Amino acid sequence: MSEAMLDVRGLVRVYTQAATRLEVLRGVSFAVREGEMVALVGPSGAGKSTILHTVGLLEKAQDGVIRIGGEDVGRLSDSERTALRRRSIGFVYQFHHLLPEFSALENIVLPQMIGGVPRHEAALRAQELLDLVGLAQRAAHRPARLSGGEQQRVAIARALANRPKLLIADEPTGNLDPHTAEGVFDMLRGLVARGGFGALVATHNLELARRMDRVLELRDGVVVASAP
């Protein structure tokens, strides 16, 4: 059995406002393994984004254990969490959030340089990733000259730039037309299968969700497994 890139046990997340206590996550447990693409589904407001933000180390849980690549993040300081997030987690959002003043290549180079990779080495890695996502000839183009699907492919390549153990995607095809969404999904599916990382993908598209390796449904603050 492949290694668990993400292992979550008993995750609790509570929000308190004035006298109101909202228990969004009530003991969530699941795992995502290397080479596995796992769908996270549930109605709007169910807490999917809370799960993504918490396992992505953008928020802290009140209780539970999160291990990324076998490392217990609860034992880490804030600076260590930031370092782990930069080197081990890639994020893809519904909107690409590319920097408009930089080319496709430069958008993939920047996160590597922030992580300490020399510019020349980062550029080679960026060109390799653009080739993988079918955009080798668009490296010098700024986002405004790319289609919506191309922009999202660049965003996926950027998320993989630092060779993460875990890819977290929040509605990665939600802003695309059905045909383009299909192409982006197929590309992402292939990258996960051969890339040595796991992917947790929140989506409202149940058709795409069923084509992933597993479907996790968020219901009443806990995750239940569904048939793929």
pLDDT at 14: 83
Per residue in 205-219, pLDDT tens? 888 889 899 999 988
Mean pLDDT of the chain: 87
Least confident of 98-107, 156-165, 190-199: 190-199
Residue 44 has φ and ψ, to the nearest 5°, of -60, 135
- Residue 193, classed as helix, strand or coil, is helix
How many residues are recorded in the chain? 228
5-18 mean pLDDT: 86
pLDDT at 200: 95
pLDDT at 134: 87
Name the pLDDT band for 182 (thresholds 50, 70, 90): confident
Per residue in 51-60, pLDDT tens? 999 999 988 8
pLDDT at 207: 86
Strand partners, 24: none
Per residue in 135-165, pLDDT tens? 889 899 999 999 888 998 899 899 999 999 9
Tell me if 25 sits within 8 A of 47, measured CB to CB. Answer: yes
Count CA atoms closer than 13 A to 10's CA, side-chain side: 5
- In the block, residue with structure tokens 């590309």: 187
Per residue in 36-51, pLDDT tens? 999 999 877 777 888 9
pTM: 0.89
Q: Which domains does the chain have, with CATH numbers?
A: 36-61+77-226 (3.40.50.300)
Q: Which amino acid is at 113?
A: M
